[in-house]
Amino acid sequence: MKRQTQFNSQEQQQDAQQQQQEQQAQQSAALEFGSAEEMLRHDASRTPVPPGIWRRLRDSLAQLPAAHASWWRRLLGGS
């Protein structure tokens, strides 16, 4: 029983050590880009669009006058 406990404890220590090493590796891993565009592309891919824009846009569109309804129909695929 005691042996089992020691074994578990060792395993936990190893896990913790491994986790720490992985974290350190992640922190020190340099990102490398071949060009400015590549870097910007990466940055753009991890830049989320704020969801509030859509809500505001929807509200703004709802307030448009009826004169704009023709293009609404086009947007919606109507004839």
Residues of the shown chain interacting with another protein in the complex, contacts defined by CB under 8 A: 27-28, 30-44, 46-58, 60-62, 64, 66-79
Measured from the CB atom, the residue of 1 and 49 that comes closer to another protein is 49
* Shortest Å, Cβ 33 to another protein: 5
* Shortest Å, Cβ 48 to another protein: 5
Distance between CA atoms of 43 and 25, rounded to whole angstroms? 21
* Shortest Å, Cβ 25 to another protein: 12
Residues 36-55: b if buried by 16+ CB within 10 A, e if exposed: eeeeeeeeeeeeeeeeeeee
Cα separations in angstroms, 73 against 16, 57, 78:
60, 17, 5
Structure token digits, residue 5: 């406990």
Measured from the CB atom, the residue of 3 and 48 that comes closer to another protein is 48
Measured from the CB atom, the residue of 12 and 24 that comes closer to another protein is 24
